[in-house]
Amino acid sequence: MKLIFVRHGEPLKYEYGISKMGIDELELLGEYLKENFNVSKIFSATSQRATESADVLNKKFNYNIEYYPWLSEFKYRIPLLNEKEVFPWELAPEYWINNDELLHYNDVFNNPLIKNSEVPKRVKEVWQGIDKIISENGYTREGNLYIAQKRNTDEIIIVTHFATMSIIIAHLLNISIVIALNLLFMSPSSYSIFATEEINYGKVIFRCLELGSTKHLYMHNELKSEYGRQDEIKENIE
């Protein structure tokens, strides 16, 4: 099975929808996915950027899109000691980069700052949601592995947002959400592919085949968007 995660298209500056540039990018992506994959289902977040993006992609497939609120934007913050609140991807690198607890898939939720926020509960909701989709397609989660109940070659598109996608990737690869949220970047309209791999009979992992690919844009000499990158210098957050 392949999960094809798509980040929504380039957004409008002051509104919640996607721009003309975003629509054009997604039309190219739809063509590319139609030509190169046997997509059987499309899932989408319920947020406007995601639903508009899914609709553009679906012009090539004409499926009944399934919508899930837990795929929408991750809006939950962490309260800091200085009374500020930040998103998990806004933590200062010097705070987490040498903190073994924050670098561990499970232990990250024992960190006092994260533990005393809505983040653990909301992350678990996302993980439960993606595991339900995976289970309905033949693979059930047990510990840090998936068990093959019904092997298949389904290729599924999931339209979502950067942070939510990063949280899902952390779950599939058993890495810390802090690592995924702070060290990965997927451009708008990019796609990322994770495929089941069964090395020992019945025991399944997900392997990343492509991450944040914008191949569909390069093929047409289109530039990718850098929307969402935190490349500006900010006040230290500790």
Token pair of 59 as six digits: 């012009």
Domain containing 199: what range? 2-218
87-119: string of b/e by CB count within 10 Å (b at 16+)? ebbbbeeebbeebebbebbeebbebebbeebeb
Residue 153: exposure state from Cβ atoms within 10 A (0-12, 13-18, ≥19): exposed
Q: Is residue 107 part of a domain?
A: yes
Q: Is residue 227 part of a domain?
A: no
Confidence check: pLDDT of 204 > 90: yes
Q: Is residue 223 part of a domain?
A: no
Q: Write the CATH number for 108.
A: 3.40.50.1240
Q: Is residue 226 part of a domain?
A: no
Average pLDDT of 191-204?
95
State whether residue 164 is helix, strand or coil.
helix
Range of lowest pLDDT (188-202, 203-217, 218-232): 218-232
Whole-model pTM?
0.93
Q: Is residue 98 part of a domain?
A: yes
User: What is the tens place of the pLDDT at every residue in 43-80?
Assistant: 999 999 999 999 999 999 999 999 999 999 999 999 88
Query: From the centroid of its chain, how far is CA 118?
Result: 19
Q: How many domains does the chain have?
A: 1
Average pLDDT of 8-24?
89
Q: Is residue 65 part of a domain?
A: yes
Which of the four pLDDT bands, split at 50, 70 and 90, describes residue 100? Answer: very high
Mean pLDDT, the chain, integer:
92
Q: Is residue 236 part of a domain?
A: no
Average pLDDT of 194-211?
95
Confidence check: pLDDT of 13 > 90: no
